[in-house]
């Protein structure tokens, strides 16, 4: 990480070396908080309003009173990018429960804490957008929405991290995570799509997935381009036998999957529908977003 980075920390812009949170912050002690990962392309913050809205929704569910308004949060994101003179980058906006005591009760944490980091991101190598990435299915099931709803983009990512460790050990880039009933939910940091006979499918959010902003963008772009896109439950059978499979996320964009649990998907390369969606996505992100300069 560039040591000259300027970070927004609870109202101030400070150098990275001074960007520190308290050991009594419940974001650290209990994973109590929420965050957003946002991209900036070509001097524009992509889907800024949608990201801030999702953060505010999560904060509401967590009964976390963010000390900044929607507009102020948007300003923090833009200003952090400007301070670092970024045109393309990855932004991490975090709200923690703030400083409390060693008990878990949020009532002891009077003020939530907001910080924002804007830096560059190392994506999957460009080659993988042509060859695709191998994925495995994790033993670890995705959190059941009746216990901890995956729609909450919380600071507790252990469910995803345990699945990611399985992927790492298998030499795979990502892991498919199933819901309790065995249907496909999503991946550790990406939503999942499959293509069969020209029709695109993605699991409904209620299966236990984050309501991904890239997912929604891809749904809109695909439908706009004339594809039939269905939000419909499916199982691993449908993934293995799909013509194409791809994953979406702010970091990953729209990355093809070449194999799942060692079954080759389609031709084993990036299929034509995935290539088309990726092209539409990359074109769209560069031309849309909140201009910051």
Residues that are catalytic: 153
Rounded to whole angstroms, the Cα distance separating 3 from 39 reads: 21
Per the CB < 8 A criterion, the answer to whether 66 and 56 are in contact is: yes
**213 is a contact residue toward ligand PMP (CB under 6 A):** yes
Among the listed ranges 133-141, 229-237, 246-254, 275-283, the one in contact with ligand PMP (CB under 6 A) is: 246-254
Rounded to whole angstroms, the Cα distance separating 146 from 194 reads: 26
Torsion, CA 69, CA 72, CA 73, CA 78, rounded to 10: 160
Beta pairing partners, 244? 195
Among the listed ranges 78-86, 93-101, 248-256, 274-282, the one in contact with ligand PMP (CB under 6 A) is: 248-256
Among the listed ranges 20-28, 87-95, 184-192, 282-290, the one in contact with ligand PMP (CB under 6 A) is: 184-192
CA dist list (Å): 185 to 1, 52, 143, 275, 280: 33, 24, 10, 23, 25
Q: Which of 132, 212, 256, 271 binds ligand PMP (CB under 6 A)?
A: 212
Handedness of CA 203, 218, 153, 65 (dihedral sign): negative
**26 is a contact residue toward ligand PMP (CB under 6 A):** no
Nearest-approach distance from CB 130 to ligand PMP, in angstroms: 21
**173 is a contact residue toward ligand PMP (CB under 6 A):** no
**140 is a contact residue toward ligand PMP (CB under 6 A):** no
CA dist list (Å): 285 to 49, 79, 159: 14, 20, 30
Size, binding site for ligand PMP by CB under 6 A: 15
Q: Which of 140, 154, 214, 259 binds ligand PMP (CB under 6 A)?
A: 214
Which residues of this protein are in contact with ligand PMP, per CB under 6 A? Answer: 37, 160, 186, 189-191, 210, 212-215, 248-251
């Amino acid at each position: 990480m560039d040591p000259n980075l300027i970070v927004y920390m609870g109202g101030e812009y400070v150098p990275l070396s001074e960007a520190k949170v308290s050991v009594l912050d419940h974001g650290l002690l209990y994973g109590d908080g929420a965050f957003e990962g946002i991209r900036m392309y070509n001097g524009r913050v992509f889907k800024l309003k949608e990201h801030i809205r999702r953060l505010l929704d999560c904060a509401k569910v967590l009964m976390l009173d963010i000390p900044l308004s929607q507009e102020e949060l948007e300003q923090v994101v833009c200003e952090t990018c400007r301070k670092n003179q970024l045109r393309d980058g990855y932004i991490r906006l975090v709200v923690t429960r703030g400083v409390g005591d060693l008990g878990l009760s949020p009532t002891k944490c009077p003020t939530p804490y907001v910080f924002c980091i804007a830096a560059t991101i190392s994506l999957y190598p460009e080659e993988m957008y042509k060859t695709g990435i191998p994925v495995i299915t994790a033993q670890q099931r995705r959190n059941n929405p009746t216990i901890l709803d995956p729609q909450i983009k919380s600071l507790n990512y252990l469910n995803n991290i345990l699945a990611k460790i399985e992927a790492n050990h298998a030499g795979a880039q990502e892991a498919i995570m199933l819901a309790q009933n065995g249907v496909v939910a999503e991946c550790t940091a990406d939503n999942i799509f499959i293509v069969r006979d020209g029709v695109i499918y993605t699991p409904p959010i209620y299966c236990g997935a984050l309501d991904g902003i890239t997912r929604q963008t891809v749904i809109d772009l695909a439908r706009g381009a004339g594809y039939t896109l269905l939000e419909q439950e499916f199982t691993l059978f449908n993934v293995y036998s799909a013509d194409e499979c791809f994953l979406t996320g702010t970091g990953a964009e729209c990355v093809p999957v070449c194999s799942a649990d060692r079954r080759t998907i389609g031709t084993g390369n990036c299929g034509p529908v995935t290539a088309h969606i990726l092209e539409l996505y990359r074109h769209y992100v560069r031309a849309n977003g909140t201009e910051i300069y």
